[in-house]
Structure 1
Amino acid sequence: MTKAASPAGRLRRKLTAGALALATAVGVVAASPAYAQDSAGSAGDAPAAAAPAAAPAQLPPGGEDPMGHRNWLRAGCSWDPVQSWVQLCDVWSPSMNRMIKVQVQPARQAGNAGLYLLDGLRARDDWNAWTHDAQAQRTFLWDNLTLVMPVGGQVSFYSNWQRPVDINGQTYNYQWETFLTEELPGYLQNEFGVRRDNNAIAGLSMGGSAAAALAAKHRDQFKQVSVFSGYMNPTAPGMYSMIPLAMFDQCKCDPFAMWGPPGSPDWGANDPLLLADRLRDIPMYLTAGSAIPGQYDQPDSLQAVFNTFNGVVLEGLSRGSTIAFQNTINAEPNQAKFEYRTTGIHGWPYWNDDLMSARLEQILPALKAHAWW
């Protein structure tokens, strides 16, 4: 007698079938490795926090120059092992009823600008991958803006979920949009002098889609947005299967606790393509690879080949949705710039390069955050 499949098993088989069909439609095959660890990631100047009169009791291990406005710990923070004057801070979230860790690199010269960097689908609970799999803290070391890198939130799309979800035996009430747009800004203003209305936001993959949606819905907070290999149309055919599949594969949790069943209003409310009208007058920097393995892709094992194939499929989906978003936003005047790499799959080395390009092209100019000497 055949044992009945569990609900989780039925869900996995159903979603996998959809994913395979869509992957076949993409039609890209590869042999290379670097599918890093992501899938489907008030007006007025606020007074800058004043440095203590006495020298700080503790300096970060191996902290690099320039020191500037960075050499003392803010409330709730400790020096982060990634160095570059990054602090690991605990910030209370009333909406999620727990402390949220945030890695923060203060502005070098007490500037009031902030850059939020959002992680991918496999976001960890100990650090934001922008500090380990990329080198954001080194990229902006000389600049006069505060890096804001929230830690945690795997599979969350940095949105407010409809109901709590169980992940590895722990219940989370994901309310990331509320945290990032209502709770965290007050802390950043008080402790780091970041103005509530002088921020940019960037992200890769899951975080890229979220960055665009948050920028569209919170124009009073964000003045520029960068999207690297994002999924810019989650309500497109096939994505109702692909996104829940990727989420379930990562968390073994109920993906529909996020925005409800496919077709529910919250799916559209978090779809950047459907929010394009709200994004036309904000500088945007969007990138996607060709899904052809490039300079960072040199597989040296069967696992690496498998990872590269995943990265190829995911980047193909990203490129397609980015093109669809471009076609939509270009229907009227806008400030979006699109960069399509001739090679490159879904991987961190490419996103690190993308961030360095976005820094000079749009982020620093939009926030007036260049360092002065």
Structure 2
Amino acid sequence: MSHSTLRRRFAAGLTALATAAGLMAGAPALVNAQSAGSGSGEPAPAAAPAPRATAFGGNEDPDGQRGRLRAGCVYDAVQSWVQLCEVWSPSMNRHIKVQVQPARQGGGNAGLYLLDGLRARDDWNAWTHDAQAQRIFLMDNITLVMPVGGQVSFYSDWERPINLGGNLLEYKYETFLTQELPVYLQNEFGVSPTNNAIAGLSMGGSAAAMLAANYPQQFKQVSVFSGYMNPTAPGMYSMIPLAMFDQCKCDPFAMWGPPGSPAWGRHDPLLNADKLRNIPMYVTAGSAIPGQYDQPSSLQGVFNTFNGIILEGLSRGSTLAFQNEMNAAPNRATFNYRTTGIHGWGYWNDDLQAARSEQILDVMNAYSTY
């Protein structure tokens, strides 16, 4: 079947599928839209002044590691020593923004990549706004690396350029994250290319798993929060392109080709479980039952909650299937299933805190020594 025929069939069924799945009309697509900022198109915040060391259980910058701007960076308005950096990507032929919080102490060479969701913005990574990653790791000796942008990318190398609002852009996020960004981070922040963890939610969770699977020399630990761990499962060939089209109004088949193409299998964590068995993993999913962060006070809030229930149900099912595949042989994965919780940032913020204390700091030996 030709690509054009597939695209025509996709377009013909788009409205019906969208209505059934609740993914159109501004609903959250693979990322909860309860936070008003995500995808709103608001202007980027102005650069913040240089922060000062404050007492938050101790000196946040005992060695002056954080109080020094690196090349191409300004202090970010989210504070907590975060720098907003412009990193040149030869593969994408443009600068890519990255928010970086340097390790607390000099000599700390561990890094933690935090990947965003499908509706990733172009001005900040949601881990610094819809969650509080910069506060969670404030006193730890690990550098937070938070790429900005990359909506619908699945942080992969696309087969064809993406058309975003009439602009054709190369999408080569796998190349950027594994070949280009590590060089910059080593030169400017002292992050070792071989001493990193990676975490992500939803789209970013699936991508984190695949990047860890394919680059074990770079990533020593991976955390997946509400990820889609089996994108080749029945129904996902429709749901994923639908969610992508809702966000970008672009051709979703420019990513991995038409459904059933080999590239879909290459980006499926369940089908690549053997590559992940020797890597410490922290994997979570909610029950799709509304919990403490789900108290809608408007019709839109009710709509968003309903969509969050659907999306988390899909994540829960694929995570269980992934666990069954992993457990077919020895592995180093920890699975944590919340008794409540839909597809939302409040839960992912909690998940990140749990992953930090239960696995990330231990695996990365990223505790501060004073």
Same fold (TM over 0.5): yes
Counterpart in 2 of 1:310? 307
Three-state SS of the structure 2 residue aligned to 1:120 is coil
Change in CA separation of 1:264 and 1:9 when aligned onto 2, cut-off 3 Å: closer
Task: State the Cα distance separating 1:234 from its structure 2 match.
Answer: 0.3
TM-score norm. by structure 2 comes to 0.88
Counterpart in 2 of 1:349? 346
Distance 1:326 1:16 in 2: 33
Counterpart in 2 of 1:271? 268
Counterpart in 2 of 1:81? 77
Task: State the Cα distance separating 1:34 from its structure 2 match.
Answer: 7.1
Distance 2:286 2:18 in 1: 20
1:60 to 50, 54, 58: 50
Task: State the Cα distance separating 1:106 from its structure 2 match.
Answer: 0.3
Counterpart in 1 of 2:358? 361
Change in CA separation of 1:34 and 1:265 when aligned onto 2, cut-off 3 Å: closer
1:303-354, Cα deviation, whole Å (9 max, x unpaired): 0000001100000000000000000000001000000001000000000000
Three-state SS of the structure 1 residue aligned to 2:13 is helix
Distance 1:138 1:128 in 2: 14
Q: Which blocks of at least 5 consecutive residues in structure 2 are unaligned?
A: 1-5, 23-31, 40-47
Spell out the pairing of 1:209-220 with structure 2 (5 A cutoff): 209-220=206-217
1:109 to 98, 105, 111: 105
Task: State the Cα distance separating 1:165 from its structure 2 match.
Answer: 1.2
Spell out the pairing of 1:1-373 with structure 2 (5 A cutoff): 11-18=10-17, 35-36=34-35, 60-61=50-51, 64=54, 65-68=59-62, 69-110=65-106, 111-373=108-370
Three-state SS of the structure 1 residue aligned to 2:240 is helix
Q: Which blocks of at least 5 consecutive residues in structure 1 are unaligned?
A: 1-6, 24-32, 40-57
Three-state SS of the structure 2 residue aligned to 1:70 is coil
Which residue identity does 2:272 align to in structure 1? L
Task: State the Cα distance separating 1:35 from its structure 2 match.
Answer: 4.3
Which residue identity does 2:161 align to in structure 1? P
Distance 1:328 1:226 in 2: 17
Change in CA separation of 1:249 and 1:9 when aligned onto 2, cut-off 3 Å: farther
Aligned length: 340
Which residue identity does 1:138 align to in structure 2? R
Change in CA separation of 1:71 and 1:62 when aligned onto 2, cut-off 3 Å: closer
Change in CA separation of 1:20 and 1:318 when aligned onto 2, cut-off 3 Å: farther
Task: State the Cα distance separating 1:112 from its structure 2 match.
Answer: 0.4
Task: State the Cα distance separating 1:17 from its structure 2 match.
Answer: 3.7
Query: How much is the aligned-residue C-alpha RMSD, in angstroms?
Result: 2.0
Task: State the Cα distance separating 1:19 from its structure 2 match.
Answer: 5.7
Three-state SS of the structure 2 residue aligned to 1:125 is coil
TM-score norm. by structure 1 comes to 0.87
Change in CA separation of 1:14 and 1:63 when aligned onto 2, cut-off 3 Å: farther
Distance 2:14 2:268 in 1: 20
